[in-house]
């Protein structure tokens, strides 16, 4: 019997609605700049097997979405588990009430060239259910955990800033992180699901949400936020200044 090792299991979601893209039939994939045909499992999982140990780059492309680049490292005997978001592109059917935000990010006097992690507080937010969480296991509560991208990246919002973390799993109120939080946070601290955006040469990027709400930004270790209205809105953020 031939045994295959699962090198990566990646859950693919719509970057606008957050819904799982259940079929990979229309997704074109390239791995390390070569066309590839990953296995698509039930529930929207893209599976890559028997990859060589080391760094890899996966490119996903689907009509109506922007191309998505995902860099990861494969290790012998381990499986990379993560969520990939395909961001809306030309021809995407945006509904009425969509909130569009164009952000210009600066680092002091120059445009930011670092990735910016961005997300919106959810109606039923994910929050810490304990004080001063230590280690990789922590208690969390959420009104609708089925809508959360798990595994996935989250911004821990704190009064003195925030930090990025990767939530590996969530079973009931038990969450598992890839690594312990570096800061100390109290019960009720919100964890906001975030996506990664790369600003252009002017430090700009555009992000769209299904409705108005509170948007969070994280770049270079700095955290900011704003209240977003429906329609088009612009925002300039100096990530080296307190927000």
d(CA 190, CA 123): 12
d(CA 131, CA 138): 10
Please name the residue that has the structure tokens 């445009």: 111
Provide the residue count of the chain: 243
CA 50 → CA 15, 36, 80, 87, 166, distances in Å? 28, 13, 12, 28, 24
Q: pLDDT (tens digit, 0 to 9) for every residue of the chain, 243 residues total?
A: 567 899 999 999 999 999 998 777 789 999 999 999 999 988 889 999 999 999 999 999 999 999 999 999 999 999 999 999 999 998 999 999 999 999 999 988 899 989 999 999 988 899 999 988 788 999 999 988 888 899 999 999 987 678 999 999 999 899 999 999 998 899 999 999 999 999 999 999 999 999 999 999 999 889 999 999 999 999 999 987 654
| pLDDT tens-digit map of 1-55 | 567 899 999 999 999 999 998 777 789 999 999 999 999 988 889 999 999 999 9
Closest CA to 155 of 130, 122, 119, 179: 119
Round the average pLDDT of the chain to a whole number and report it: 91
For residue 19, count CB atoms less than 10 angstroms from its CB and return exposed for 0-12, middle for 13-18, buried for 19 or more: exposed
Q: Tokens for 73?
A: 């490292």
Find out whether 153 and 230 touch, Cβ atoms under 8 Å: no
* β-pair partners for 131: none
CA dihedral 101, 232, 238, 219 (to 10 degrees): 0
Give me the pLDDT at residue 2, please: 61
Find out whether 211 and 107 touch, Cβ atoms under 8 Å: no
Per DSSP, 187 falls in state T
Give me the pLDDT at residue 63, please: 93
Domains and CATH numbers, the chain: 6-86 (2.60.40.1120), 99-238 (2.60.40)
Give me the pLDDT at residue 124, please: 84
Q: Tokens for 174?
A: 């038990």
CA 101 → CA 55, 128, 158, 170, 234, distances in Å? 33, 28, 23, 30, 6
Closest CA to 28 of 40, 16, 19: 40
């Amino acid at each position: 019997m031939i045994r295959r090792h699962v090198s990566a299991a990646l859950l693919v979601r719509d970057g606008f609605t957050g819904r799982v893209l259940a079929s990979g039939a229309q997704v074109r994939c390239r791995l390390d700049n070569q066309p590839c045909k990953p296995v698509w499992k039930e529930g929207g999982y893209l599976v890559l097997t028997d990859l060589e140990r080391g760094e890899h780059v996966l490119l996903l492309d689907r009509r109506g979405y922007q191309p998505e680049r995902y860099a990861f490292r494969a290790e012998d005997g381990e499986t990379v588990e993560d969520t990939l978001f395909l961001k809306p592109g030309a021809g995407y059917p945006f509904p009425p009430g969509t909130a569009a935000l164009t952000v210009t990010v600066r680092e002091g006097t120059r445009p930011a060239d670092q990735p910016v992690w961005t997300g919106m507080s959810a109606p039923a937010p994910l929050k810490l259910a304990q004080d001063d969480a230590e280690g990789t296991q922590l208690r969390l509560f959420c009104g609708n955990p089925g809508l959360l991208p798990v595994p996935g990246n989250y911004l821990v919002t704190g009064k003195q800033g925030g930090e990025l973390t990767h939530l590996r799993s969530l079973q009931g109120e038990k969450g598992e992180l890839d690594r312990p939080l570096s800061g100390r946070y109290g019960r009720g601290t919100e964890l906001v699901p975030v996506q990664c955006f790369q600003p252009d040469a002017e430090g700009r990027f555009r992000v769209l949400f299904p409705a108005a709400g509170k948007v969070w930004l994280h770049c270079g270790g700095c955290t900011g936020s704003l209240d977003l209205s429906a329609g088009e809105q612009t925002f300039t953020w100096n990530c080296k200044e307190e927000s």
